[in-house]
Structure 1
Amino acid sequence: MKHLNWDDLRLLLLIVQEGTLRRASKKAGMSPATLSRRLDDLEEAVGQKLVERFQAGCLPTAFGADMVALASQMGEIALEVERTRDRQDAHAASGVVRINTDEWLSYFLTTRFARFHDAYPNVEVEIVTSHRPYSLARREADIALRPYRPEQLDLVTRCLGTLSFGLYCSRDVAERHAAALSSGDWARVPFVGFDEPRAEFQSDRWLRALPGAPAPWMRCSYGLGILDGVSHGAGLGVLATFLAGDQQDLVAAIPHIPELDQEIWLSMHASLRTSARIRAVVDFMGQVFAAYRETGR
């Protein structure tokens, strides 16, 4: 038997699981031609045919089925190795991680980070909230979360997902202004928004452009002030939609405003990518945003 590429066994397992080279190649992130060549290499290495290729799909030979069973066992072993590594990392990772972001994302993180401490008890997290981005190059922060992709070449970036927004009010306001809300008569309802220095924010420009809507009678210099005003009956305001699951008394006048969607980008200095504490925080934030994509919360 020639030298065996163990990664080719993983591809064999994927081909059999997916049933066709096309579906397997898409999942593997390579072209069908490349995947076919890798299968040829594996069959040459073991000296036997592993898969019968038909127009409708692929079926393993008897020997191929045995190899698939072994590949499946290897996959389970690999997963167990990763879980063991993660458990060791949980004890090895230590130190402080500073995350710089804006108000909505600060609230999003602080209300979802409790489980992180259980997994990584020696890592401390500082969430630094500001409209002004902190400098990652000058180490003002370790990680940044922002609604745009940074352009610096020395940064590692990753899109975590999309933050969406809606127009909300309290249950009391919804009941008192039910007729106006159902007809979209914005002139007859009160609003809460940002103050004049922040009137250029995209959400506030959208709010002030609503047909017939009066200027917000209550104006705040920070996003959570709008949340407080809206949830306590001061009027309608633009809020991040994840808050709907956190605040039981919020009512959506417009559940989703597509033009306000924001891609959320994580960035960090390239020199930090191998840090255990940074990797722990980045992986956890990836899990949190994955859950948000699936549930909206």
Structure 2
Amino acid sequence: MKHANWDDLRLLLLVAQEGTLRGAGRKAGLSPATLSRKLDDLEEALGQKLVERFQGGCVPTAFGADIIAWAGQMGEIALEIERTRDRQDAHGASGLVRINTDEWLSYFLTTRFARFHDAYPNVEVEIVTSHRPYSLTRREADIAVRPYRPEQLDLVTRRIGTLSFGLYGSRDLVRRHAADLAQQDWTRMPFVGFDEPRAEFQSDRWLRALPGAPAPWLRCSYGLGILDGVAHGAGLGVLATFLAADHEGIVPAIPRIPELDQEIWLSMHRGLRTTARVRAVVDFMEQAFAEYSETGR
């Protein structure tokens, strides 16, 4: 029996998690044919079949299930080694990290990064806010945080959380329209939304589809304009849920709108994934989204 390749064991874990060569290959940036060849190499090295491959997916053999369990433990150990290294590198990390993201996520990050500076005093963070995605391959930014998964195969991508939205108003406005809200009678409610060029945003389509609701009388070209209008009593508006925790005068009319949930994806160029300053920023953002998932803040 030959020595097993750790990279091939990782691919075996991915196949077990995804259940198909196509799904695992998509995550690994490999074609199903290439992934199948690597599984063949691993099976040859270990001397036994690991996965039965059917048209509908992949099923581990009994031997394969044992190997997958051991490989999972190896993965946890490898991750802990990386975390230990990262902790030791913390004060040695230095330089600039540029993050490209949209408006809501920019607000989410900028209101949380103060703690990061305490841990990594020599790392500078630049958050570039735009609806247009910057090119990571041309190094217009180091990291992108977006509500969709990029398609480029030369990028490292990972899902870091889910952003939720609700319908909010000022405390006084919600109190004055309590009866209408209880009956979901939207006909006499004032609304704040995006302007016409942005009326196709998912949140604005949802708002304009409320039965009997008038079109937003106050329209803005940017999300924080909607926040300002809502906070100052101009009407109800769709906002990211974390904003309510930061503004005591804003209360929910609908606390969460599940169909507006957005999966948040982080991506970066493969060449940057081992850079200390980039690892530090990525780990911090993952922790921030984990806390938001647990607490809503």
Query: Which TM bucket (shorter chain)?
Result: 0.7 to 0.9
The answer to whether residue 163 in structure 2 is matched with residue 163 in structure 1 is: yes
Q: Distance in 1 between matches of 2:250 and 2:68?
A: 55
Cα 1:32–1:285 change in 2 (3 A) is farther
Who is 1:47 aligned against?
Answer: none
The letter for the 1-side match of 2:96 is: V
Who is 2:187 aligned against?
Answer: 187
Who is 1:209 aligned against?
Answer: 209
Who is 2:245 aligned against?
Answer: 245
The letter for the 1-side match of 2:165 is: F
Q: Distance in 2 between matches of 1:31 and 1:131?
A: 47
The answer to whether residue 223 in structure 2 is matched with residue 232 in structure 1 is: no
Q: Deviations over 1:75-128 (max 9, x none)?
A: 9xx96x767633431122100000000010000001111110011000000000
Who is 2:282 aligned against?
Answer: 282
The letter for the 1-side match of 2:180 is: A
Who is 1:177 aligned against?
Answer: 177
Q: Distance in 1 between matches of 2:227 and 2:161?
A: 22
Q: Distance in 2 between matches of 1:124 and 1:86?
A: 17
Q: TM-score of the superposition, structure 1-length normalised?
A: 0.73
What SS does structure 2 have at the residue aligned with 1:115?
helix
Q: Distance in 1 between matches of 2:86 and 2:274?
A: 14
The letter for the 2-side match of 1:221 is: S
Query: CA offset at residue 39 of structure 1?
Result: 10
Identity %: 79
Query: CA offset at residue 175 of structure 1?
Result: 1.2
Who is 2:222 aligned against?
Answer: 222
Q: TM-score of the superposition, structure 2-length normalised?
A: 0.73
What SS does structure 2 have at the residue aligned with 1:187?
coil
The letter for the 2-side match of 1:236 is: L
Cα 1:274–1:197 change in 2 (3 A) is same
Who is 2:258 aligned against?
Answer: 258
The letter for the 2-side match of 1:228 is: D
Query: CA offset at residue 246 of structure 1?
Result: 1.2
Q: Distance in 2 between matches of 1:38 and 1:230?
A: 51
The answer to whether residue 129 in structure 2 is matched with residue 129 in structure 1 is: yes
Query: CA offset at residue 292 of structure 1?
Result: 1.0
What SS does structure 2 have at the residue aligned with 1:88?
helix
The answer to whether residue 147 in structure 2 is matched with residue 147 in structure 1 is: yes
What SS does structure 1 have at the residue aligned with 2:264?
strand
What is the RMSD computed on CA atoms of the aligned residues?
2.3
What SS does structure 1 have at the residue aligned with 2:187?
helix
Who is 1:272 aligned against?
Answer: 272
Query: CA offset at residue 242 of structure 1?
Result: 1.0
Query: CA offset at residue 35 of structure 1?
Result: 6.5
Cα 1:92–1:221 change in 2 (3 A) is same
Q: Distance in 2 between matches of 1:153 and 1:174?
A: 47
Q: Distance in 2 between matches of 1:245 and 1:32?
A: 49
Cα 1:255–1:32 change in 2 (3 A) is farther
Q: Distance in 1 between matches of 2:212 and 2:170?
A: 21
Q: Distance in 2 between matches of 1:231 and 1:128?
A: 25
Who is 2:291 aligned against?
Answer: 291
Instruction: Name the count of aligned residue pairs.
Output: 233
Who is 1:98 aligned against?
Answer: 98
Q: Deviations over 1:199-229 (max 9, x none)?
A: 1101001100100000101000000000000
Q: Distance in 2 between matches of 1:167 and 1:135?
A: 33
The letter for the 1-side match of 2:199 is: A
Could you tell me which runs of 5 or more consecutive residues in structure 2 were left unpaired when the two chains were aligned.
1-59, 71-76
4+ residue stretches of structure 1 with deviation over 6 A?
A: 37-40
